[in-house]
Amino acid sequence: MKGQHAARLQLRHKYLFFKESLFVRDIVRDRWLYFILFPGILYFVIFKYVPMFGLVMAFEDYQPHLGFMNSSWVGLKHFERFFTEPQFWILFRNTILLAIYNLVFFFPLPIVLALMLNEVRNKIFKRFAQTLLYLPHFVSWVVAVGIFYVLFTTEGGIVNELIHRIGIEKIPFLLSEDWFRTMIVSQSIWKEAGWGTIIFLAALSGVDLQLYEASRIDGAGRWRQLWHITLPAIRSTIVILFILRLGTFLDTGFEHIFLMLNSMNREVGEVFDTYVYMKGLTQGQYSYSAAVGLFKSMVGLVLVLGSNWMAKKLGEEGIY
């Protein structure tokens, strides 16, 4: 009888301790917060984390009717196939070349454009120019590529009409391997270069105006001011954006390239992402294409972390 009583007392103590423990108290206090948090977390688990675990299919011969758990395990078969195929080097070359083209021809333009806008003293003109330059960013890639299509097609496109009128033969801009990268990069420039100025303009707005005044008293003209004050002021922004750009080096713009691809330019236009889509969803080689996708994601992860590490080394705040 006495023992029973002691045990009950102990239980009651445990219960009280449980009730008073900080952890439980906090959970109970924040019950409504957890309640509204739940759907969002569920979203991340289902649509972000389950696919990550779904990547095991890259090591299987995945059969949709068997599922992730029951398909047969084949190890690195798909990776071996991918790395020994000539297609690998074509994709590698196409992706790298497009990325380099973008870095060389696209990257400097927002900086130049921002510097030009920054030199504009007329507020109304500046705002007007910005309004026009930002607009293409908001149209879809279908519209952007569509606009280029109707302008550059050999069948009644205005560009080829004009070329034809001055006596040069029509150029199949959209159906040729030679023009593919040029078209991709010019479309990116037309759509995104204006928008890209925002971050540089923000950096430029932080420059101390007294520096300009002082330099003017010292007799510096506009070019000298640009070179000795403005550029150094945004140098760190340029460096960090360049490094972060290296982190997303392989992301050549999936929708954009997908829309530009056709049977005439596939040889130079196919990149890792579009290849995954074609092999996986149109040809049904699920495991193989998941392996290609995993390879690309891993390289991308290494690049992002590497570039972020580099940015921090240079004394900048990283993104993560």
Kindly tell me which residue out of 79, 149, 242, 309 binds another protein, with binding defined by CB under 8 A.
149
Kindly tell me which residue out of 156, 167, 206, 315 binds another protein, with binding defined by CB under 8 A.
156
d(CA 54, CA 77): 17
Number of residues that bind another protein (CB under 8 A): 91
Considering only residues 205 to 224 of the shown chain, the ones binding another protein according to CB under 8 A are 216, 219, 221-223
Q: Considering beta carbons, is residue 76 or 162 the nearer one to another protein?
A: 162
* SS3 per residue for the chain: CHHHHHHHHHHHHHHHHHHHCHHHHHHHHCHHHHHHHHHHHHHHHHHHHHHHHHHHHHHEECCCCCHHHHCEECCCHHHHHHHHCHHHHHHHHHHHHHHHHHHHHHCHHHHHHHHHHHCCCCHHHHHHHHHHHHHHHHCCHHHHHHHHHHHHCCCCCHHHHHHHHCCCCCCCHHHCHHHHHHHHHHHHHHHHHHHHHHHHHHHHCCCCHHHHHHHHHCCCCHHHHHHHHHHHHHHHHHHHHHHHHHHCCCCCCHHHHHHHCCCCCHHHHCCHHHHHHHHHHHCCCHHHHHHHHHHHHHHHHHHHHHHHHHHHHCCCCCCC
Q: Considering beta carbons, is residue 45 or 100 the nearer one to another protein?
A: 45
Select the span of 11-19, 86-94, 100-108, 147-155 touching another protein (CB under 8 A). 147-155
Select the span of 5-13, 85-93, 160-168, 232-240 touching another protein (CB under 8 A). 160-168
Considering only residues 3 to 42 of the shown chain, the ones binding another protein according to CB under 8 A are 23, 26-27, 30, 32-37, 39-41
Q: How far is the CB of 182 from another protein (least distance, A)?
A: 16
Kindly tell me which residue out of 143, 168, 214, 231 binds another protein, with binding defined by CB under 8 A.
143
d(CA 40, CA 257): 32
Considering only residues 236 to 255 of the shown chain, the ones binding another protein according to CB under 8 A are 254-255
Position 140 contacts another protein (CB under 8 A): yes
Kindly tell me which residue out of 277, 310, 312, 316 binds another protein, with binding defined by CB under 8 A.
277
Q: Which residues of 89-104 are buried (b: 16+ CB within 10 A; e: fewer)?
A: ebbeebbeebbebbee
Considering only residues 163 to 182 of the shown chain, the ones binding another protein according to CB under 8 A are 165
Considering only residues 57 to 116 of the shown chain, the ones binding another protein according to CB under 8 A are 57, 64, 113, 116
Q: Which CA distances in Å does 216 have to 116, 209, 227, 300? A: 19, 11, 13, 47
Select the span of 13-21, 76-84, 91-99, 280-288 touching another protein (CB under 8 A). 280-288
Considering only residues 47 to 66 of the shown chain, the ones binding another protein according to CB under 8 A are 47-55, 57, 64
Q: How far is the CB of 148 from another protein (least distance, A)?
A: 8
Kindly tell me which residue out of 66, 76, 104, 142 binds another protein, with binding defined by CB under 8 A.
142
Q: Considering beta carbons, is residue 169 or 317 the nearer one to another protein?
A: 317
Per-residue binding string, another protein, 183-202, x by CB under 8 A, is -------x---x---xx--x
Position 299 contacts another protein (CB under 8 A): no
